[in-house]
Amino acid sequence: MAHDVATKDWSPSSWQEKEALQQPTYTDEVELEEALDHVSSLPPLVTSWEVDNLKDELARAARGERFLLQGGECAESFADCTADVITSRLKILMQMSLVLTYGLNTSVVRVGRFAGQYAKPRSSDTETRNGTTLPSYRGDIVNDAAFTEEARVPDPQRMVEACSSSALTLNLVRSLSEGGFADLHHPEYWDLDFMQHSPLAEEYHAMVDSIEDTLDFLEVVTARELDSVESVQFYTSHEALLLPYEEALSRSVPHKDGIYNLGTHLPWVGKRTNQPENAHVEYARGLENPIGLKVGPDMTPTILKRLVQTLDPDDEPGELTLITRFGSDTIGDRLPGLIEAVRDTGQSVLWICDPMHGNTEKTDDGTKTRRFDNILGELEQALDIHAAEDSHLGGVHFELTGRNVTECIGGARGIAESDLGEAYESLVDPRLNYDQSLEMAFSIVRKYRALHG
């Protein structure tokens, strides 16, 4: 059902009447307008049909007929817009989705945190190092991470570059997922170089062999090749944080009502900007896209009810995905009451668990990290709580990379606090590495089977 923009008193720019948190201050208005005009004139990154299809898939996930795997970088960077980074991220997402599809016996909807995840909310507007204070790094779409005055000046031209880098990323993702890369007959295409040394290699390959046997069997029985397993769909998502940029990508399309954000399939509203009366919720509420909403420990049942009614007033299937991120020692306190609050509204939403953002901690030397056990602990509790509340956990949300980094502690390979310095690459949040991500997928399956048989 398309939104009736007129009766909702909404437009892609109506957010400008509200308080917009986490926005940079651009100094040159003319440059800003020029850059936004440029972004507005560029072709869209995604189509309205894809957006509508994703909404259908998310509606299915809410009913338990699909499982959502949303994952990728905390923040993409322009420098990491390379074949190696993009393909290794796709490979781990493919491997995880294979484990989940097979283990949960459910189709997996794959949504990347990529092709647009360039804007970051920060806890402070400034950063001080050795007595020098500069504006905070707000993601490559705003400024540069280097700690110099020049680098930290917000540059509107970066929005144009973000759009181009998103297009380059998406081009490779689309080509790979439509070509032979996605062919289930050749899962070895998704093996990463260091896979052979993984403690999970054997378990993974045993599963792949069994899938191959099943495919062979089906091909013999049906006497035809199963071409449909040769392509897969990857959808994109990012935090809709930098509102002028999101507005420039919000478009009407021929023969359809309403306004679509054609910069991504699934924009989400972050925890720091999710107040019902503020600009980010205002912007998101009128879009045709399905919307993600981060829900943290500070959320109250009353505010969540208001958000559900604001963001999904027509109770449209697939419209709203609640992404909970409490922390492993807080989820037990908060989630049950919020599930009940949403039930009170009579509306249906898709619940998914982000076990990353509530479990961030700092080591003694100030390194940001997360513990595998806390991440898994929050996920397992989410599964338990939804089952106990007669609700349904329809997906998961991870910050991960296909690379062999050392940013999170724990997992089968036993990364210790003292190992974090070996390959710590993230500019913002610590990500699960390849092994930890695959282990997480197997662990979800184990827990799910223990609960649901």
CA-nearest of 389, 282, 278, 280 to 331 is 389
- Residues in the interface with ligand PEP (CB under 6 A) total 10
**Binding of residue 74 to Co ion (CB under 5 A):** yes
Piece of the chain touching Co ion by CB under 5 A; list 67-75, 135-143, 152-160, 382-390: 67-75
- What lies within 8 Å, CB to CB, of 310 at 6+ separation is 276, 281, 285
Complete DSSP assignment for 92-131 = HHHHHHHHHHHHHTSEEEEEEE-SS------S-SEEEETT
271 binds, among Co ion, ligand PEP, none (CB under 5 to 8 A by kind): ligand PEP
Task: Please answer whether residues 187 and 98 qualify as being in contact, where contact means their C-beta atoms are separated by less than 8 angstroms.
Answer: yes
Output 76 or 429, the one with its CB closest to Co ion: 429
270 binds, among ligand PEP, Co ion, none (CB under 5 to 8 A by kind): ligand PEP
Dihedral, CA of residue 52, residue 56, residue 62 and residue 63, to nearest 10? 170
Least Å distance, CB 23 to ligand PEP, is 15
Least Å distance, CB 428 to ligand PEP, is 7
Distances (CA, A) of 312 to 2, 146, 347, 350, 450: 12, 40, 9, 12, 34
Annotate each residue in 401-430 with x if it binds Co ion (CB under 5 A) or - if it does not, as one string. Answer: ----------------------------x-
One-letter identity of residue 18: K
- Considering only residues 3 to 42 of the shown chain, the ones binding ligand PEP according to CB under 6 A are none
Least Å distance, CB 368 to Co ion, is 10
**Binding of residue 370 to ligand PEP (CB under 6 A):** no
Complete DSSP assignment for 349-361 = -EEEE--STTSEE
Q: How far apart are the C-alpha atoms of 377 and 327, rounded to whole Å? A: 9
Least Å distance, CB 159 to ligand PEP, is 19
Output 48 or 273, the one with its CB closest to ligand PEP: 273
**Binding of residue 112 to ligand PEP (CB under 6 A):** no
One-letter identity of residue 192: L
Output 277 or 298, the one with its CB closest to ligand PEP: 298
Q: Are strands 250-251 and 260-261 parallel, antiparallel or unpaired?
A: antiparallel
Dihedral, CA of residue 118, residue 123, residue 125 and residue 130, to nearest 10? -100
**Binding of residue 55 to ligand PEP (CB under 6 A):** no
46, 69, 74, 160: which one binds ligand PEP (CB under 6 A): 74
Distance of CA 290 to the CA centre of its chain: 13
Least Å distance, CB 357 to ligand PEP, is 4
Q: Where are the beta strands (DSSP E) in 142-187?
A: none
Identify the residue whose tokens are 């950063």. 127
Kindly report the backbone phi and psi dihedral angles of residue 33, in degrees, each rounded to the nearest multiple of 5, phi listed first.
-60, -40
**Binding of residue 285 to ligand PEP (CB under 6 A):** no
**Binding of residue 297 to ligand PEP (CB under 6 A):** no
44, 103, 121, 377: which one binds ligand PEP (CB under 6 A): 121
Least Å distance, CB 288 to Co ion, is 26
- Residues in the interface with Co ion (CB under 5 A) total 2
**Binding of residue 354 to Co ion (CB under 5 A):** no
**What is the Cα Rg of the chain in Å?**
21
**Binding of residue 325 to ligand PEP (CB under 6 A):** yes
Piece of the chain touching ligand PEP by CB under 6 A; list 43-51, 199-207, 270-278, 376-384: 270-278
Q: How far apart are the C-alpha atoms of 8 and 175, rounded to whole Å? A: 39
Piece of the chain touching ligand PEP by CB under 6 A; list 7-15, 99-107, 123-131, 268-276: 268-276
Least Å distance, CB 326 to ligand PEP, is 10
- Considering only residues 207 to 246 of the shown chain, the ones binding ligand PEP according to CB under 6 A are 239
Output 118 or 204, the one with its CB closest to ligand PEP: 118
337: three-class secondary structure by DSSP: helix
Task: Please answer whether residues 257 and 8 qualify as being in contact, where contact means their C-beta atoms are separated by less than 8 angstroms.
Answer: no
What residue ranges bind ligand PEP (CB under 6 A)? Answer: 74, 121, 239, 270-272, 294, 325, 357, 429
